[in-house]
Structure 1
């Protein structure tokens, strides 16, 4: 029997990237050749979700394997240097470090700006990036709320200055350097949470020129996504040059859907950021409609996962921790208090009913695994999906109230845009999902 080989782990996490902002997810106006190639080399996840329609809770779920409320982060965290963050608990980084992995984070943390909540306290050996929710891409200064602007760029515990350097490119370079340095030393975990294409809308001139045919708004977003794709290309190139690409599990996704926010910027100018695309899905960042929570998902592990396939199973970012540990340990881990599940068996097609079925387009589709309920909540909104059906309660279209739908039931397979409420036609499904949601609320309340 061949000895189990533990993969390296690379997680590429975009910020406010919509379901319709990558070529491999239908965007024909944004050049994303590196991510499109990654998708062809791996498994496309068309039913992949963030755990929240906003950033900090989504990141907490990714790193802990829990629903945001169970992880202890349910809202967007501030950027003042005294802002607390993620409560102390095991994370994907700390669990991998216990298994002998070298761990690095390069990019956006947003789980506590106070030094006591910096990523080094959560299992990361090396860190480079910023701790707040957004910064100027060239000065790396955080402008937000009723306080003075503050510089926010850190190398481990030390503040560093890279004035004038485009942050997306710097993040990609630092992650690639980590891979080159660590690849020969044993397994590594490289977490790369980009801040692109989150506002402010800054992009290098060369990338703006590549998409100069696009209208304002979409042009800036496209240029920022293209710059991120180039940075990801550097990271993937580092894996190839280090000879570890075959044995590296690479996951790419986004923390929530595209932003439609208006923010007061310098001088009091109000700017609306509308360049991102949810790919025809309803809603945007801040909404429990699909446009706020369904995000691009790609996973590639050439040594273990088939290329050019799709997974029919709906999954969430909280599934990443158990899936990764399953890949690392060689067995589905027994993890107390974890809400996510390992999807590795489904991704590999281990079960008898998971055999890939070729389609007319030459893509092998893996069918759904056992049905489970997936739940979202944010600022009074609720949603639960089970199988093809989804119930929403007090759902709004984006970050701002009021709710546009009080209660509605949708068939996501027939109506992914959530345009037709079928509650009256499917009362039994409605009642079952309402019961599921009530049970989740009760469990959440009991865990405090």
Structure 2
């Protein structure tokens, strides 16, 4: 790990390196975690400064109607990589840390398509799409497969799931880093393993208290979801994580300056547990949640400097977005709710992570490519599921027939050449899906799940025939117009049913919050 920090320290003294521009651009997707529409300065944030992302937005295209496919992380990540809505895969729900891989290696991904066209492909950061085969238990002490390599990534350095789930270790190219064979790892989400203290048995060891679900095995002073035994030499230090991931992203870029590369940089900020490096503590007025946003922005600024030093900045398309809407309290009593003040993490939209309201899936979304993308603000309706088809078109790769059929080629919109986007898109939340078409939003009858202020989930109940909102005049989704426009309700309901099917046929896919392994 010392070499990683050395890489960071050397950035300021690196001599300019001339790289021969490839015929196809480098592509970096920076995928933030739980960062809401209103969490960046360029989208109206208060109490936190994000100068590097603001610069990307000022110099590139800042989208106002861009969406994650889902209001939770695993489904969104699945959709982004595969070009397929997650509700089409019953396994694409919030996963425990020991779940098997949910992407069929036979399906194309952004990584596998670009790799087929000569790109070096790399994953750094959060994975959370499963590892191993569903047919046999995963052995963390040997080669971990299938995983990122089997779905198109030449190089990978990542966590298995999330920071609040065990195993709390880094995995590089299918192997746990720093693992001592004399202290093998074991992970279990159903019952305790080993004798490690937990948040319930030893609350005095915790730096931040947590709810019962997050109060299992303690790693680095923080209790997690799930139980872990062994692997002590491999366990991470939370405050170092952003620097570790940044260092690996830098190494990947510097190793591929002579060939086109695709980097999926899946940052962990600002998912819980929010434990920014001490040098960022107090960097915002919003407590650790805001400090994590500042750290995220700083890391992105550092990455931009690496591209510039290596002569790659004008031949690299950068796409920044987030996996789902924001959440203040999410299992740890870290003060995010109390210190939020007037900051509106979802911007003008209602709701946040987990919910079918706009704040759950409407995302900050920026494209940046100096000399190619001109500065603009775009209202084009786009979804992260469209990145696969759009990047395939950019690089001249053919998407196999009958694959990634939800993904639409919106390359011209991404490059700021048009504001024509999708006709409509699906927003997936816990237990339901909604639909947006043009300025209209339809939420079907049922329960919209939201995260409460004290850890409980609560529901807003939508009565038949559902709720219809005219978003330009009602960003807060407060005025249900269904009774005034029954024909529009029927139109959107029919489109939604066509895409997702009847509720009764899909009941088994929806309880993402049930059980001890999900939150």
Give TM-score, length-normalised by structure 2: 0.73
- Partner residue, 2:122: 104
Q: Report SS of the residue matched to 1:166.
A: helix
Label 1:121 to 1:332 Cα distance change in 2 as closer, same or farther (>3 A): closer
Q: What is the distance in 2 between the residues matched to 1:251 and 1:436?
A: 29
Q: 1:388-403 residue pairs with structure 2 within 5 A?
A: 388-393=439-444, 394-399=446-451, 400-403=457-460
Q: d(CA) in 2 for partners of 1:228 and 1:424?
A: 44
Task: Give the equivalent residue in structure 1 for 2:147.
Answer: 118
Q: Is the 8 A contact 1:169 1:227 kept in 2?
A: no
Q: Secondary structure at the match of 1:103?
A: strand
Deviations 1:93-113 (A, max 9, x none): 011111000011110000004
User: Distance between the aligned counterparts of 1:349 and 1:294, measured in 2?
Assistant: 19
Matches within 5 A, 1:27-426: 27-70=45-88, 73-80=91-98, 83-88=100-105, 89-114=107-132, 115-135=144-164, 142-143=165-166, 150-160=167-177, 161=234, 163-164=236-237, 166-184=240-258, 186-211=259-284, 214=285, 218-263=286-331, 274=337, 275=340, 277-306=345-374, 308-329=375-396, 335-337=401-403, 338-348=405-415, 354=418, 367-369=419-421, 372-393=423-444, 394-399=446-451, 400-406=457-463, 407-426=466-485
Correspondence 1:12 to 2:30: yes
Distance apart, 1:376 and its partner CA: 2.5
Looking at structure 2, the residues matched to 241 and 72 of structure 1 have their Cα atoms a distance apart, in angstroms, of 45
User: CA distance change for structure 1 residues 157 and 74 in 2, over 3 Å: closer, same or farther?
Assistant: closer
In structure 2, what is the equivalent of residue 138 of structure 1?
Answer: none
| Structure 1 runs not aligned, ≥5 long | 136-141, 144-149, 355-366
| Secondary structure, aligned partner of 2:56 | helix
Q: Secondary structure at the match of 1:210?
A: coil
> What is the aligned partner in structure 1 of residue 5 from structure 2?
none
* Structure 1 residue 73, shift from structure 2 partner: 4.2
The answer (yes or no) to whether the contact 2:145–2:174 under 8 Å persists in 1 is no
Partner secondary structure for residue 182 of structure 1: coil
- Which whole-Å CA distance do the structure 2 matches of 1:335 and 1:412 have between them? 35
Partner residue in 2 for 1:357 = none
**Matched residue pairs, number?**
403
Structure 1: 4+ residue segments shifted above 6 A:
443-446
In structure 2, do the counterparts of structure 1 residues 25 and 255 end up closer, same or farther at CA, with 3 Å as the change threshold? same
Q: Using structure 1 for the length normalisation, give the TM-score.
A: 0.84
- Higher alpha-carbon Rg: 2
- Gaps in structure 2 of 5+ consecutive residues: 1-20, 133-143, 178-233, 452-456, 510-519
